[in-house]
């Protein structure tokens, strides 16, 4: 997709002038790396939607099923690689540092691909697929073991004919400190963002000159309020989404198309200067 030249030139002028830039990314950015969004038509795991499984209630009722779902997600993400939108944002962060600009990347994604691409100023709003939290003592640790416990080996197939594994709770991931049941360290539906995260967000949005919104419909709060807030305070908001979203009416610039194409072009980063993303394997 070729972006409108006049639109790009106008945006480039704003980009050059901005001194504090914040980016908000969502599932659409990682979808271009082959990671399912679990949203919209066909966005199911077996017969379940993410909104049904990614809840404290679902975990209390059936921790085995929820861990199967997250084991499947970890398997998918483990094979995924950053795409040009991830690499472009990492390169842009370095440019901002060289120019003495303030840059922060707020992501709703839990896959860690921004860090894998080289971004360092990242706030993971919804936690990380690669961290666990103990339901008993609260200990949070990074865990990249595959599978995370022996009982999940070969489990988590997404097709509707796959039976639930019904793993006994004592065979699910356990805390190495107190042997309590572990859960994914992610923010589930009905849960609040951590206070530390909220403080980092407030700092990133305060006096923000330019907010880039990429690959997210931004309909879930508090992220749904970021574009309206920056816009109301006089900042510029630019949207990078394939389709119109609820946030679009608060955006000064709207770049339609895959973010892997539109972000590098709008940020002035040639694709041939970015690392090449290998094609996904047939079994990914």
| 36-79+127-186 has the same fold as 1-34+82-126+193-284 | no
Once rounded to an integer, what is the mean pLDDT over residues 233-241? 96
Q: Is 48 annotated as a binding residue?
A: no
Q: Is 175 annotated as a binding residue?
A: yes
pLDDT at 36: 86
Q: pTM above the 0.75 mark? A: yes
pLDDT at 102 over 90: yes
Q: Is 135 annotated as a binding residue?
A: no
pLDDT at 40: 53
The mean of the pLDDT values for the chain is: 92
φ, ψ for residue 50 (rounded to 5)?
Answer: -60, -35
Q: Is 216 annotated as a binding residue?
A: yes
Q: Is 87 annotated as a binding residue?
A: no
Q: What fold does the segment set 1-34+82-126+193-284 form as a domain? A: Rossmann fold (3.40.50)
Once rounded to an integer, what is the mean pLDDT over residues 178-198? 96
Once rounded to an integer, what is the mean pLDDT over residues 1-18? 84
Query: Which DSSP string do the residues of 65-84 spell out, in sequence order?
Result: HHHHHHHHHHHHHHH----H
pLDDT at 248 over 90: no
pLDDT at 246: 84
pLDDT at 43: 73
Once rounded to an integer, what is the mean pLDDT over residues 192-214? 97
pLDDT at 281: 47
CATH number attached to the domain at 36-79+127-186: 3.30.1600.10
Once rounded to an integer, what is the mean pLDDT over residues 124-153? 97
Q: Is 100 annotated as a binding residue?
A: no
pLDDT at 218: 80
Q: pLDDT digits over 120-130, tens only?
A: 999 999 999 99
Three-state DSSP class for 15?
helix
Once rounded to an integer, what is the mean pLDDT over residues 244-263? 92
pLDDT at 117: 97
pLDDT at 278: 57
Q: d(Cα 39, Cα 108) in Å, to the nearest integer?
A: 14
pLDDT at 282: 44
pLDDT at 76: 95
pLDDT at 6: 77
pLDDT at 284: 39
Q: Where are the domains of the chain?
A: 1-34+82-126+193-284, 36-79+127-186
Q: Is 268 annotated as a binding residue?
A: no
Which residues have a catalytic role annotated?
Answer: 126
Q: pLDDT digits over 41-78, tens only?
A: 557 899 999 889 999 999 999 999 999 999 999 999 99
pLDDT at 283 over 50: no
pLDDT at 39: 63
pLDDT at 148 over 60: yes
Higher-pLDDT residue of 224 and 58 is 58
Specify whether the CB–CB gap between 242 and 43 falls below 8 A.
Answer: no
Burial environment of residue 28 by CB neighbours within 10 A (0 to 12, 13 to 18, 19 or more): buried
Long-range Cβ pairs for the range 187-190 (8 Å, 24+)? 187/125, 187/126, 187/127, 188/54, 188/55, 188/56, 188/59, 189/51, 189/54, 189/55, 190/55, 190/56, 190/57
pLDDT at 280 over 80: no
Q: Is 34 annotated as a binding residue?
A: yes
Q: pLDDT digits over 167-182, tens only?
A: 999 999 999 999 999 9
């Amino acid at each position: 997709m070729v972006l409108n030249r006049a639109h790009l030139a106008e945006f480039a002028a704003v980009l050059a002038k901005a001194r504090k830039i914040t980016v908000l990314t969502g599932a659409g950015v990682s979808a271009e790396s082959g990671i399912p969004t679990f949203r919209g038509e066909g966005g199911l795991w077996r017969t379940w939607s993410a909104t049904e499984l990614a809840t404290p209630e679902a975990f209390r009722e059936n921790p085995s099923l929820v861990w199967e779902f997250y084991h499947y997600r970890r398997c998918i993400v483990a094979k995924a690689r950053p795409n040009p939108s991830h690499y472009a944002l990492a390169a842009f962060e370095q440019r901002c540092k060289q120019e003495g600009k303030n840059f922060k990347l707020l992501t709703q994604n839990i896959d860690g691909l921004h860090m894998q691409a080289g971004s360092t100023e990242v706030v993971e709003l919804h936690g990380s697929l690669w961290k666990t939290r103990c339901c008993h003592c609260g200990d949070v640790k990074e865990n990249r073991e595959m599978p995370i416990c022996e009982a999940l080996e070969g489990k988590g197939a997404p097709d509707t004919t796959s039976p639930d594994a019904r793993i006994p709770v004592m065979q699910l991931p356990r805390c190495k400190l107190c042997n309590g049941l572990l859960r994914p360290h992610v923010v589930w539906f009905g849960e609040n963002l951590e206070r530390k995260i909220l403080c980092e967000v407030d700092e990133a949005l305060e006096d923000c000159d330019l907010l880039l919104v990429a690959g997210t419909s931004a309909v879930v709060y508090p992220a749904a309020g970021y574009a309206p807030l920056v816009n109301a305070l006089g900042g510029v908001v630019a949207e990078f989404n394939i389709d119109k979203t609820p946030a679009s009416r608060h955006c000064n610039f709207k770049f339609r198309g895959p973010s892997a194409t539109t972000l590098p072009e709008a940020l002035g980063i040639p694709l041939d200067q970015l690392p090449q993303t290998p094609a996904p394997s047939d079994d990914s």
